[in-house]
Amino acid sequence: MSHAPHLRPSVPSGTHPIETGRYTLFTPPLGRFCDDLKNWVNNRAAGAIVTAPPRFGKSKGIRFAVDELREELGAAFPVLTFCCQDHQYPTEARFFESLLSDLGHSLSHRGTASAKRARLAQFLVQQACVDHHQRLVLIGDEAQKLQEPHYKWLVDIYNDLDRHDIATTVVLVGQPELVHQRDAFEKAKKMQIVGRFMVHLHQFAGLRNQKDFAYCLKGYDDESEYPEASGCSFTRYFFPSGFEAGWRLAGEAKVLWEAFQHVRAEAKLPGKTEIPMQYFSRTVEFALRDYRSIDGGPPTISLNQWKEAIERSGYRDAGRYL
C-alpha cells in the first residue's frame, strides 16, 4: 500500500482552489485568444471585439491573457481593464466617472463631465508613458452593455490619446450581441466606431472534442499546483495513491466526452457540442472532491459517475440556453 498521506500537503478544509473555484488553467480556446490579443497589440491594432456566450470563461480568460501579455511585453506594459456599466440613461459624466473608478483613480467623482474626461485622458497618458512605451491597451468587459453614446465618448478619449502620440488598442469583450451591434453600426455607416473598435473579431469557443478535454484534464495533472511551490498538482492532491500509481485525469478524456454526449442526448439539447469551460470545470471539481474516496491505487471513474458530476455542474439545465 502506498504511503499516500505523506504525499499530500496539509491544506485547511475548503481552501483548495478546487473547492473555491479560484484558478485558471490554460485551454486551447484560451490559447487562441491569447495569440489574437498579442497579435493585435504587437501590430498596434486600434480595436477588436471578443465575444462568447455566458459561462464560456471569458472573464477569467481576460485576466489570464493580461498576465500573458505582461509576461511577453514586460510587467510595466500598460494594460488597463474596466467593466462596462448598464445605465438606463447614459450620461457623459457618469461614463467617465465609471471609467476613472474602475481604473483606480482617486478622484473619479469630482467635477463636470469635461473635467472628468480631461482627468481620464491625463491619467491614461501618464500610464501609457511609463517606461516610455507610448502605448496603451484598454480592455472592457461586458461590452454588450455599451450604447452608441458610450462609443462616441470612447472615440473622444481615443482621439485625446492620439493627439499625445499614444498608440491605443481597445479590446471590447462581451456576449454575442456585440456582433449585432457592429452590424448595426456598419448598416448605419457609423464607420468612426467600427473602424476604431470593431475591425477585428475573436469568438471565444468552448471545448469541442475529446482532444480539447484531454488537454484541459492534463492541466489538472501537470500544470496546476497548490500550495505554491509544493509540487502537488490538483490531481495528485485529491488522488495521491492513484497519482503515484500512474493514474491521470487526462486518461479520462474519452469517457468524460462520452458522458457529456449521453447527457446532451438524454436532455435533447440543441446545437453542436461545445462545452462551456465553467461547466467542464465544475464537473471535474465535483469528481475530484466527491470521488476521492475511491483512491487507493489507479481509480476507476465510471461513465455513470461522470454523468452524475455533469448533472451536479448544472450543465443539463443550462444547456438549452447556451
Give the helix/strand (H/E) hosting 49.
Answer: strand 47-51
d(CA 81, CA 99): 9
Predicted local distance difference test score (pLDDT) of residue 132 = 81
d(CA 153, CA 225): 43
* Burial of 266 per CB tally in 10 Å (0-12, 13-18, 19+): exposed
Residues 6+ apart with CB under 8 A from 171: 37, 40, 47, 48, 49, 50, 137, 138, 139, 140
Predicted local distance difference test score (pLDDT) of residue 1 = 39
Q: What is the pLDDT along the chain (322 residues), one digit of tens a residue?
A: 344 444 689 999 999 999 999 999 999 999 999 999 999 999 999 999 999 988 888 888 899 999 999 999 998 899 999 999 887 788 999 999 999 999 999 889 889 999 999 999 999 999 999 878 899 999 999 999 999 999 999 999 999 999 999 999 999 999 999 999 999 999 999 999 999 999 999 998 899 999 999 999 999 999 999 999 999 999 999 999 899 999 999 999 999 999 999 999 999 998 889 999 999 999 999 999 999 877 666 788 999 999 999 999 999 988 777 6
3-state per-residue secondary structure call for 151-190: HHHHHHHHHHHHHCCCEEEEEEEECCHHHHHHHHHHHCCC
Domains of the chain: 4-9+207-319 (no CATH), 28-203 (3.40.50.300)
Whether residue 260 contacts residue 42, with contact meaning beta carbons closer than 8 Å, is answered with no
Whether residue 260 contacts residue 273, with contact meaning beta carbons closer than 8 Å, is answered with yes
